[in-house]
Amino acid sequence: MSNPLTQAELEHLAEVREVYQTVNTAGWRRILEQMQRFVDEAQEDMIGAMYAADAVKAGLQTRWQQRISMLRGVKKYIADLEDERVQLLEEAKPSVPREEMNAERSEAVGEWTN
């Protein structure tokens, strides 16, 4: 039996699964916390350089913008994949309640064996 999904769809499903597994680990939470600390440190440096030269201020602002953009991008990527994972799980649910489906299967097996 051939697979109804294309190779690209299978790879995307693998990506969704792998990201979900990764973000639910203690290590990932530590990485995300460290990324947030980097953002906070850059912001503190930027605010603390109130009397610095304009070039220094611009450099610190660029550093903060790069870090916050990266953190927001990673969080959005994860949130988008989580939304997609939830949607895929909803689509994969059988339309008939599992109890009814099991009862029908039992009846069908009973008829087949008789």
Over 70: is that where the pLDDT of 39 sits?
Answer: yes
Whole-structure pTM value: 0.72
Please state the rounded mean pLDDT for residues 15-33: 94
Structure tokens given for 110: 């009973």
Could you say which DSSP state residue 24 is in? Answer: T
How far apart, in whole angstroms, are the C-alpha atoms of residue 1 and residue 86? 27
Over 70: is that where the pLDDT of 30 sits?
Answer: yes
Q: Which residues contact 32 (CB under 8 A, 6 or more apart)?
A: 74, 75
- State whether residue 2 is helix, strand or coil: coil
Give Rg (Cα) of the chain: 25
* Residues 107 and 45 sit within 8 Å (Cβ to Cβ): no
96 pLDDT tier (thresholds 50, 70, 90):
low
Please report where in the chains the tokens 């949607």 appear, as a residue: 87
pLDDT of residue 65: 97
